[in-house]
Amino acid sequence: MPKHDKISMSVIRRLPRYYRFISELAENDVQRISSSKLAELMNVTASQIRQDFNCFGGFGQQGYGYSVEFLKQEMETILGLNKVNNTIILGAGNLGKAVALHINFAEKGFKLKGIFETNPDIIGTQIADINVYPESSLINFIKTNDISIAVLCIPKNSVGEIIDKLYNNGIKNFWNFSHYDISRKYSDTIVENVHMSDSLMTLSYRINETRQ
């Protein structure tokens, strides 16, 4: 179905938000929605919504709008939420634990299979019903469980130590909470960075800006 003219990152980053709003409409049994109504709801322009949707071939009907249910399903397909990606988390500290417990991986097409730690106190325990393993079992686990995604919740220098191992065993997709620059070292990877402290500094800037 996709037009596939190389979708820009600006569009891609808006897709999850569309999906959220459309899902909520579906939950409230809304049958259809126009780009202008959705725009009003999401506080964006109707034009942008239509342009964005049209990147994927356009799934509306002139004079009618968009079918919410159809839109939702299309979005799920586009985002790949109906596929399954076997996932591991590296690091069972505060962050890794929070990610494991807080994110509904299953709902987003990810299957969390294991968590890896170096701290012996935590190894052997469970987090969110998932076993915490020692790093020594990492490579074998990746192979036997068909892991394709690693979530990095360890400090920058720990990533430096472990990244080659992951890459060389076929892991090319990363959800990266560390400040290690993965795509610099391995350019044929797909890396999604979450830099929370950058976000906080951005907030700091904007607060400070108004004070000047």
Which residues contact a second copy (rule: CB under 8 A)? 2, 4, 7, 12-13, 15-17, 19-20, 43, 78-81, 83, 85, 93-95, 97-99, 101-105, 108-110, 148-149, 173, 175, 179, 181, 183-184, 190, 192, 194-212
Q: Is there binding between residue 62 and DNA (CB under 7 A)? A: yes
What are the angstrom distances between the C-alpha of 177 and each of 73, 170, 194? 29, 20, 5
Binding of DNA at residue 61 (CB under 7 A)? yes
Please tell me the number of Cα atoms within 13 Å of 101 on its side-chain side: 9
Q: CA–CA separation, 194 vs 177, rounded Å?
A: 5
Contact 179, 156 (CB under 8 A): yes
The one-letter amino acid at 100: A
Instruction: Pick what 102 binds: DNA, a second copy, none; C-beta below 5 to 8 Å, kind-dependent.
Output: a second copy
Residue 63 interacting partner from a second copy, DNA, none (CB closer than 5 to 8 Å by kind): DNA
Q: Does 10 bind DNA (CB under 7 A)?
A: yes
The DSSP secondary-structure symbol of 4 reads: -
Is residue 58 within the footprint of DNA (CB under 7 A)? Answer: yes
Whether the CB-CB separation of 183 and 191 falls below 8 Å is answered with: yes
Q: Is 87 in the site for DNA (CB under 7 A)?
A: no
Distance in angstroms (rounded) separating the CA atoms of residues 85 and 98: 20
The interface partner of residue 148, options being DNA, a second copy, none and the CB cut-off 5 to 8 Å by kind, is a second copy
What whole-number distance in Å separates Cα of residue 179 and Cα of residue 202? 16
Binding site for DNA (CB under 7 A): 8-11, 33-37, 44-48, 50-51, 53-54, 58-66
